[in-house]
Chain A
Amino acid sequence: MSHLDRSMIPASGEMRDFEFPPIAKKDLDCGLALHLVQQPRLPVVSVRLFIDAGEDTLDHAQAGLSVLTGDALLGGTLDRSGIELAEALESIGADLGVVTGWDATTVHLSCLADRLDEAFALVAEVVRRPRFPDEEVERIRDQRLASLQQRAMEPSGIAADRILPCIFREGSPYSRPSMGTRDSVGRIDSEATRAYAAEFYKPVRGGLVVAGDVDLAEVGEIANRHLSGWSGAPPPRREVDTRPRQTEGRIVVVSRPGSVQSEIRIGHVGVSRSFPGYFPLRVFNTVLGGAFTSRLNLNLREENGFTYGVRSQFGFRRHAGMWVVGAAVGTEVTAPAVREAMAEITKLVREGPTDDELEAARDFLAGVFPLGVETTGQLASKVESMLVHDLAPDYYATYRDRIREVTRESATSAGQDAIRPAEATILVVGDPDEVVAPLEALELGEVEVVELEQGG
């Protein structure tokens, strides 16, 4: 064995090509397109059936209805009660759930491949023949209300919810949490969920994605059998008001006396998923706060020990979501943490990343891509996201090339388009006696203190 020089970083081996597995497509009789990715390694399968029914089509008065209707799908069908449904699924080891976001409602299933026929029958049943029994809907609503009440006492939940109306205008759906408010959810009854499902749970503009140890012919036959006769279109999409509420920087302190930490959020209106500079912006944001070795984390955590971690994120939705930096920091270092975060953001936006940072971020994003498509669940989610956001069919096949094409100039310009530090709202959930004076001394804008409990 030759002597090993430990100070030498080992050279990389030969890189093995990685291609995103082929996505097969088949139009189903009901008009829905089936997209399938074969992954035969283990006898498992993941299914995602998405419907064009997102929270963003609802007024404030109905906020949370889409989410609650999705939850209540598991409350029973015309053919079986909620408990019978749970038993039918669990007796074959199938996991069925519903997730509703701003852009779509998705019914997702995972099961062993030899159970797909039985399990898919239940997916079709809950979507096409939901019953929404009074007592189930009331129970699920009460659970949701209790969760909202709980969230209102958790600092991270408070911060996430309270920054929304600081950023979006009052009428915009994005100015409220996607699961609704205690007021709006409290008004939902079984009638409302039934009406919502009858109007929105239609195949047009939806899609079906399957990944796993199955083939196209087999799944096509199963899906056709269970979905035949399903038809119709949900109401047209709506524009969402994504104009910023204000463009002057300011600091809002949500009063939570006695907090041992402050939850900090810094943000403003971001960009939509169709933003032309999407790839350069991903690279830019990785340098800013999208990786452990990002500027924000190295400063706030590794240099200063202010926090356990800090991230910068974009909510890439069909319409412009939010750009937000978030961290929980020690109460006594709240103002220094805000100062350092703002300084890092401002500097990176002004100067752009260094060549070395750019290269590191590109290498990270391109290299980590295969790690995100190891499981059938990940594969199905990726394909679903491609379809929901109308991305090109070769989107994943060319993803890594697009990342590698990003230059210092394109990243800087995308960062400058999407992030305007002087317009950001800085929200702090913490002890006002401890944090307000030091925050005022930063001279980053007016400091307003608001109560923890909101009226209404």
Chain B
Amino acid sequence: MLLDFPIEQHRLVNGLRVNLSRDSTVPVVGVNLWYGVGSRNERVGKTGFAHLFEHMMFQGSEHVAKNAHFELIERAGGTLNASTWFDRTNYFDTVPSHFLELALWLESDRMGWMLPAMTQEKLDNQRDVVMNEKRQRYDNQPYGDWDEWIQTMVFPSAHPYAHTVIGSMEDIEAATLEDVSAFFRTFYLPNNCVLTLCGDFDSERALESIERFFGGIARGEDPPELPGEVGIAPTLEEPVRREIEAEVPLPRVIMAMRVPTMGSEGFHAAEMAGSVLGTGRSSRLYRGLVRDRRVAKDVMCFVFPLTTGASMMLVWATGVPGVEPEQLEAALAEELAGMAAVSEEDVARAVAVNTARFVQGLQAVGQRADVISAFDLLLDDPHRINTEMDRLARVTPGQVREFAGSFLTEQNRATLVYVPKEAT
């Protein structure tokens, strides 16, 4: 499949990377920023801070009042949000195209002039909001603590991926205004950011506006090396297994593996293997565990696109009532082992499904801008949006089998078993 989204690349004097991708089908434009900072940059005792900081970015800046970013964008008929992950934090606004300058002004003001607007009251408020986010999405949910367990099982404690993005309650609670300002000065720099516009705009005028709004922000020092120990063996040295009794309705087994990092050759094989295992109803996990054996009510496979030392692949299965966790675990293990015999048809189907989904996923300008920013920030190649499908399509069954032989082994496996607590 050939994609040919146009991308103009620029770089401001202060180091800000700019990608312009025009498409005037609908009069909207996606403004998308990826900052090179995520939970992997957090130090001991400061877990969850990158995400808390993301919340603070909506609390106003020198020329923008608290909540004005939301008010102005919503009033313009736009949508906006942000998210924090291991390797990055992204901010995105999609607006009717005649409001492009508004979005650029707002994004540049918080990149350059955030600190004068910070107060203890705003920090206290957003700490409460984030603690409620943690309660709602993790603490008050069955299985909500799975990633906390899995990350510590897959990565050594000194590795930057050993803690979760949401972080610990204690650390969130301990965050100070000092932390906010130090973090801002260290990471929120034009030279640590990619800005992508995608949609309906005039390139020359857009670039001029970007210069005008972002050009006056000073370049900073390159962010420091990642904390902790980044170097890591490509696989686990020995299997890890943990069983937890919890307030959950049904047993669930999660298996996680270290896999090659995003951007490496091996990563595409991992993605294809993940798809053969877990995408669609003809996938091996669905067929094996849900359809044939009827031990699972749902199955899932996910390959994290991570860049530091090693990435991670997950499979999981939730049991149907009455099934023993051991049965689930054995069935999952058997499917992983079966990947050594992956067929031509398995891989051909995975390519077909991925191609169609990838293209469907690029229809909205906001999503397209996000993919371009991702490839630029993480792999220094925004044009990869046009070539990624071909890379995936070139993966051979032999490469998937080889991947399975090296990474889907018993040795390279962290297993987490949720056992429902007996009703009292």
Chain A residues within 8 Å of B, Cβ to Cβ: 1, 4, 6-7, 9-18, 39, 41-44, 74, 82-83, 86-87, 89-95, 110-112, 139, 142-143, 145-147, 149-150, 152-155, 259-261, 291-293, 298, 301-308, 328-330, 359-360, 363-371, 373-377
A82 to B215, CA, bound (A): 58
Given contacts A83-B291, A301-B129, A364-B74, contact A375 B105 (CB under 8 A): no
Among candidates B28, B136, B247, B345, residue contacting A374 with C-beta atoms closer than 8 Å = B28
Given contacts A143-B290, A146-B250, contact A305 B132 (CB under 8 A): yes
**A-contacting 9-mer, from B6-14, B83-91, B228-236, B353-361:** B353-361
A17 to B97, CA, bound (A): 10
Q: Are B363 and A44 in contact (CB under 8 A)?
A: yes
Q: Are A298 and B67 in contact (CB under 8 A)?
A: yes
B137: nearest chain-A partner, CB-CB: A308
In the assembled complex, the CB of A369 is this many whole angstroms from the nearest CB of chain B, namely 7
B26 contacts the other chain (CB 8 A)? yes
B309 contacts the other chain (CB 8 A)? no
Closest 4 CB pairs of A and B: A367-B77, A305-B128, A93-B356, A93-B352
* A-contact 0/1 string along B83-106, CB 8 Å cutoff: 000000000001011111110110
Q: Are A291 and B74 in contact (CB under 8 A)?
A: yes
Among candidates B70, B125, B216, B355, residue contacting A293 with C-beta atoms closer than 8 Å = B70
Among candidates B27, B78, B212, B357, residue contacting A95 with C-beta atoms closer than 8 Å = B357
Chain A hits for B215, CB < 8 A: 1
Chain A hits for B142, CB < 8 A: 150, 153-154
Q: Are B363 and A111 in contact (CB under 8 A)?
A: no
B130: nearest chain-A partner, CB-CB: A308
Q: Are B102 and A12 in contact (CB under 8 A)?
A: yes
B76 contacts the other chain (CB 8 A)? yes
A16: nearest chain-B partner, CB-CB: B27
B113 contacts the other chain (CB 8 A)? yes
Q: Are B348 and A91 in contact (CB under 8 A)?
A: yes
Given contacts A7-B63, A15-B98, A328-B132, contact A370 B28 (CB under 8 A): yes
Q: Are B349 and A90 in contact (CB under 8 A)?
A: yes
Q: Are A16 and B77 in contact (CB under 8 A)?
A: no
Given contacts A16-B27, A41-B363, contact A292 B77 (CB under 8 A): no
Can you give 15 contacting A-B residue pairs, CB < 8 Å?
A10-B105, A14-B98, A17-B27, A43-B359, A90-B281, A95-B356, A139-B291, A146-B318, A147-B297, A260-B139, A306-B128, A308-B133, A360-B75, A370-B27, A374-B365
A87: nearest chain-B partner, CB-CB: B282
A153: nearest chain-B partner, CB-CB: B249
Q: Are B96 and A328 in contact (CB under 8 A)?
A: no
Q: Are A260 and B23 in contact (CB under 8 A)?
A: no
B126 contacts the other chain (CB 8 A)? yes
Q: Are A142 and B363 in contact (CB under 8 A)?
A: no
Chain B hits for A110, CB < 8 A: 356, 360
Number of residues on chain B facing chain A (CB within 8 A): 86
B364: nearest chain-A partner, CB-CB: A374
A154 to B131, CA, bound (A): 19
Among candidates A112, A142, A376, residue contacting B297 with C-beta atoms closer than 8 Å = A142
- Taking A17-B27, A293-B71 as known contacts, 19 extra A-B pairs with beta carbons closer than 8 A to each other, sorted by chain A number, are A9-B102, A9-B105, A12-B98, A13-B97, A13-B101, A14-B98, A42-B362, A82-B281, A83-B282, A86-B282, A90-B353, A92-B352, A95-B357, A110-B360, A139-B294, A143-B297, A302-B125, A307-B132, A363-B75
In the assembled complex, the CB of A346 is this many whole angstroms from the nearest CB of chain B, namely 23
Q: Are B140 and A259 in contact (CB under 8 A)?
A: yes
Q: Are B78 and A74 in contact (CB under 8 A)?
A: no
B66 contacts the other chain (CB 8 A)? yes
Chain A hits for B250, CB < 8 A: 146, 149-150
Chain A hits for B105, CB < 8 A: 6, 9-10
Chain B residues within 8 Å of A, Cβ to Cβ: 1, 23, 25-28, 62-63, 66-67, 70-72, 74-79, 94, 96-102, 104-105, 109, 113, 124-133, 135-137, 139-142, 200, 211-213, 215-216, 247-250, 280-282, 287, 290-291, 294, 297-298, 318-321, 345, 348-349, 352-357, 359-360, 362-365
A83 to B349, CA, bound (A): 13
Q: Are A13 and B132 in contact (CB under 8 A)?
A: no
A92 to B356, CA, bound (A): 9
A146 to B70, CA, bound (A): 40
Chain A hits for B28, CB < 8 A: 370-371, 374
In the assembled complex, the CB of A154 is this many whole angstroms from the nearest CB of chain B, namely 6
A307 to B124, CA, bound (A): 13
Chain A hits for B109, CB < 8 A: 6
Q: Are B27 and A18 in contact (CB under 8 A)?
A: yes
Q: Are B140 and A306 in contact (CB under 8 A)?
A: no
Q: Are A93 and B355 in contact (CB under 8 A)?
A: yes
Q: Are B211 and A1 in contact (CB under 8 A)?
A: yes
Q: Are B74 and A374 in contact (CB under 8 A)?
A: no
Q: Are B79 and A368 in contact (CB under 8 A)?
A: yes
Chain A hits for B76, CB < 8 A: 12, 363, 367
Chain B hits for A363, CB < 8 A: 75-77
A89 to B356, CA, bound (A): 12
Among candidates B135, B212, B294, residue contacting A328 with C-beta atoms closer than 8 Å = B135
Q: Are A302 and B211 in contact (CB under 8 A)?
A: no
B133: nearest chain-A partner, CB-CB: A308
A44 to B364, CA, bound (A): 13
In the assembled complex, the CB of A257 is this many whole angstroms from the nearest CB of chain B, namely 11
A329 to B135, CA, bound (A): 9
Chain B hits for A373, CB < 8 A: 26
Q: Are B291 and A154 in contact (CB under 8 A)?
A: no
Given contacts A155-B140, A375-B364, contact A367 B96 (CB under 8 A): yes
B247: nearest chain-A partner, CB-CB: A153
In the assembled complex, the CB of B273 is this many whole angstroms from the nearest CB of chain A, namely 16
Q: Are A112 and B359 in contact (CB under 8 A)?
A: yes
Among candidates A91, A152, A260, A303, residue contacting B345 with C-beta atoms closer than 8 Å = A91
Chain B hits for A155, CB < 8 A: 140-141
Chain A hits for B355, CB < 8 A: 93, 112
Chain A hits for B63, CB < 8 A: 6-7
Chain B hits for A301, CB < 8 A: 129
A87 to B23, CA, bound (A): 35
Chain A hits for B1, CB < 8 A: 112
Q: Are B282 and A375 in contact (CB under 8 A)?
A: no
Q: Are A364 and B77 in contact (CB under 8 A)?
A: yes
Chain B hits for A371, CB < 8 A: 26, 28, 77-79, 94
A6 to B63, CA, bound (A): 7
In the assembled complex, the CB of A23 is this many whole angstroms from the nearest CB of chain B, namely 16
Chain A hits for B133, CB < 8 A: 308
Chain A hits for B248, CB < 8 A: 153
Among candidates A10, A83, A291, A307, residue contacting B287 with C-beta atoms closer than 8 Å = A83
Q: Are A154 and B297 in contact (CB under 8 A)?
A: no
In the assembled complex, the CB of A82 is this many whole angstroms from the nearest CB of chain B, namely 7
Chain A hits for B247, CB < 8 A: 153
Among B28, B79, B98, B136, max chain A CB count under 10 A is at B136
Q: Are A306 and B132 in contact (CB under 8 A)?
A: yes
Q: Are B77 and A369 in contact (CB under 8 A)?
A: yes
